[in-house]
Structure 1
Amino acid sequence: VLAVIHPDDRLYYDAAAAGLALGEPVAGGPSRQDSVRLGLEALAPLAPRLVLIHDGARPFLDAGLISRVVTALDHHPGAIPALAVHDTLKLGGNGLIERTVPRDGLYRAQTPQGFHFAAILEAHRAAAGRQLTDDAAVAEQAGLAVALVAGAEENRKITTRDDLDRAAARLAGVGEIRVGSGFDVHRFTTGDRVILCNLPIPHDAGLEGHSDADVALHALTDALLGCIAAGDIGRHFPPTDPRWKGCDSAVFLAHATTLVRALGGTIQFCDLTIICERPKIGPHRSAMAARVADILQIDQHRVSIKATTTEGLGFTGRREGIAAQATATVKFQGA
């Protein structure tokens, strides 16, 4: 493998090529065409039978694509990977369509482009000083037949900021999705309101607990801690610790959120179900979702608040307290 680089990029090349069995790079010229010709001239003493010319801006080629190009060279002096154009093409000017261009027989050229070495070197020497955009065009000018083989959509050329972002996402991998669950219960006690999802809800009783007894946020906090195998809320905020007496449970949920993000997690969705006969949750559902989303620093459409009863059964049916269960979905990129 022979790399052709801009002389100013030597330090970057040395860092990228460290540990690889690569020879001394060749300094490129003022244009791509000049750089390819200089690379071919550097290979001339080795007199290879075939040569593949590849753009470093296409880092996602695969072995199958290379094999297709090389195989085609058994029958043709040149071969390139290409993709048929499927989009409708428009010729435009001054921001307006001038005409539709027929797409039949049109292809998007990719690299590596393969050639019989002696033929493409001679073609490049003859084309020196001309402005041709790829090596197949140089071969065409020399009258060489160039075969088309199947390209690959993944073999995308990195040109724009969006291309770089897509490449970074691909290198990071698909990532890992984790789902955690949480459950909590608090009994009623004397009072005139309950705290649910960090909101005061008027009621004829309060909820008993060491903190503010926000059963909903406690369940959701445990769900997030479960996504990172970090134990439960009691491990982080022991009910025996006086620091947490009467504490706002938003502190607990924010803490779990910070831990998730510190490990590279992104909260994708939270689903919370509040189980009680009273108070009615429906009138407060939207405000609850908004408040939870604010604590988690995510969009409100990523928070679901539901409520149900146990049809008069069990401790919630007897109106002795409130239960809540929560599920959290977290994505870890490249995990």
Structure 2
Amino acid sequence: MRDVSEKQAADDKVAVVIVAAGRGARAGQANGPKQYQQIGGGAVIARTLGAFLMHPKIGPVVVAIHADDGALFRRAAGANADRVVAVTGGTSRQESVRLGLLALRSNAPGRVLIHDAARPFVDAELIDRTIAAIGERQGALPALPVADTLKRETAEGMIGETVSRAGLHAAQTPQGFPFWPILAAHEKAHHLGKADFTDDAAIAEWAHIPVKIVPGSPDNVKLTWARDIAMADQRLSSAPRFPDIRTGNGYDVHAFEPGDHVTLCGVAIPHDRKLSGHSDADVGLHALTDALLATCGAGDIGTHFPPSDPQWKGAASRIFVEHAAKLVRARGGRIANVDITLICEAPRVGPHREAMTEALSAILRISLDRISIKATTNEKLGFVGREEGIAAIATASVVFPGNVPE
């Protein structure tokens, strides 16, 4: 888990604080706190995290967890645990939010969303509506008009009066605010010992920060009781699941320099020159690394293995591919097929294709029939045609866990 300072929180990105430090006593403790209970084959908090981490407008994500839940959180979040900042929460929701906001202060975002981990059905459209309504001095609250008739109870358990529902709304999260005003409001409430606010919009109201109501979502339910978790599990488990198949592309090129062999797709091939590069310059594996990283939005080879880093000088490029494959699998992906085209006038690739395929099979841990390696010339055109270097194009297809249509 990273420090917030490692990720720049620019004003055009929105930070998120997810509150996950509660014990969830009303949901029952037999299976642990509700945010870690299973729905549809995954933890509640894992689904909540995924909704924000996949959103293009979201930047840093801070999760406030209970002091005893570090290992539990890592197991539940999986690979996403390393994409967020986990901080120890407080004894109340209000205090956990304050601590989460403080974790963002050193590299403050312009705007922040505050969300309950136990609302796993938040969707991109609701996030968009909330973000759009945040102003320089204005917060945003997703809410639904109250539909039920409301009754006020007397001390004797009788109906005292019928309460008008005109203008009444049920508040949801994420609630969005300009960062510095909501942090200041939380800090002021903390120093004054005011700890009875039930949500962040209430603190904003107390601090005279106007809050705009935006349409909430009826699907964005908060899992409070054991039956809520059971119904959420049933909803996800019974819904049809469709494969999430992603395709990534990669391209790389390296020039020739004096040498006695080239390394292509993990195989050393005798040649009157070698390829120039910081590592072993395996153009095929470099292109494949980018293709695999592309399937899970993990950047490119230079992000993970910068050529300025001396530790990669002369390194075998299989290290890069193995790293990319590990990231894919950590996100639940299964490599279905890889296809590499080597573009060169020489050396001849055909005699080495079988060895290359076997090398890739061992690196990726997939069967030979899921690997395609081809070669073509550039018909004497361009730098490849002039035998100044070799280029490669790679495509990878990866199957990720099925998505559930809402």
Q: Distance in 2 between matches of 1:75 and 1:3?
A: 24
Q: Does 1:104 align with 2:162?
A: no
When the two structures are aligned, how many residues end up with a matched partner? Answer: 177
**1:174 Cα offset (Å):** 2.7
Secondary structure of the equivalent of 1:19? helix
Q: Is the 8 A contact 1:76 1:147 kept in 2?
A: no
The one-letter code matched in structure 2 to 1:22 is R
Report whether the alignment pairs 1:2 with 2:67.
no
1:30-58 deviations in whole A, cap 9, x for unaligned? 11000000000111001110000000010
Structure 2 distance, partners of 1:70, 1:122, is 20
Question: What is the letter of the counterpart of residue 165 of structure 1?
Answer: A
Deviation digits for residues 43-99 of structure 1, max 9, x if unmatched? 100111000000001000000000000001147520010000011000013321111
CA distance in 2, matches of 1:173, 1:121: 41
Counterpart in the other structure of 2:218: 153
**Unmatched 5+ stretches in structure 1:** 177-333
Matching residue within 2, 6, 11 for 2:71:
11
Give 1:58's aligned amino acid. R
CA contact (8 A) 1:91 1:100 kept: yes
Shift of 1:11: 1.6
Q: TM-score, normalised by structure 1?
A: 0.51
Q: Equivalent residues in 2 for 1:82-97 (5 A)?
A: 82-93=143-154, 94-97=156-159
Deviations 1:133-176 (A, max 9, x none): 00000000100000000001110000001111111112213359
Residues 195-214 of structure 1 mapped to structure 2, 5 A cutoff: none
The amino acid across from 2:110 in the alignment is R
SS in 1 for 2:144: strand
- Structure 2 gap ranges (5+): 1-60, 242-403
Residue 63 (structure 1) aligns with: 124
**What are the equivalent positions in structure 2 for 1:177-216 lying under 5 Å apart?**
none
**Which runs of structure 1 show a deviation greater than 3 angstroms over 4 or more consecutive aligned residues?**
none
Instruction: Determine if contact 1:79/1:113 at 8 Å carries over to the other structure.
Output: yes
How far apart, in 2, do the equivalents of 1:82 and 1:132 lie? 17
Alignment pair present for 1:171 and 2:236: yes
Q: Given the alignment of the two structures, is residue 40 of structure 1 paired with residue 40 of structure 2, yes or no?
A: no
Q: Secondary structure at the match of 1:57?
A: coil
- Please report how far the alpha carbon of residue 15 of structure 1 lies from its aligned counterpart in structure 2 after TM superposition: 0.5
Q: Identify which of 112, 115, 130 aligns with 1:54.
A: 115
Cα distance between partner residues in 2 of 1:45 and 1:16: 28
Distance in 1 (alpha carbons) for counterparts of 2:187 and 2:103: 13
CA RMSD of aligned residues (A): 1.6
CA-to-partner distance for each residue in 1:105-138, whole Å, 9 max, x for gaps?
0000000000000000000011113210000000
CA contact (8 A) 2:98 2:187 kept: yes
Which SS does the other structure have where 2:72 is aligned?
helix
Contact map agreement 1:2 1:22 (CA 8 A) in 2? no
Distance between the aligned counterparts of 1:26 and 1:173, measured in 2?
A: 35
Looking at structure 2, the residues matched to 56 and 141 of structure 1 have their Cα atoms a distance apart, in angstroms, of: 24
Distance 2:108 2:91 in 1: 25
* Aligned-partner Cα distance in 2 for 1:172–1:154: 16
1:120 corresponds to 2:182 = yes
**Aligned pairs for 1:12-27 within 5 A:** 12-20=72-80, 21-27=82-88
Q: Distance in 2 between matches of 1:125 and 1:24?
A: 21
1:79 aligns with 2:144: no
Q: Deviations over 1:6-30 (max 9, x none)?
A: 1111121010122114233110111
Change (3 A) 1:87 1:75: farther
1:133 alignment partner in structure 2: 198
Structure whose alpha-carbon radius of gyration is higher = 1
Q: Residues 27 and 141 (structure 1 numbering): CA distance in 2 closer, same or farther, change over 3 Å?
A: same
Question: Whole-Å Cα distance in 2 between the matches of residues 23 and 113 of structure 1?
Answer: 19
What amino acid maps onto 1:173 in structure 2?
S
How many angstroms apart in 2 are the aligned matches of 1:124 and 1:76?
Answer: 15
Percent identical residues: 49
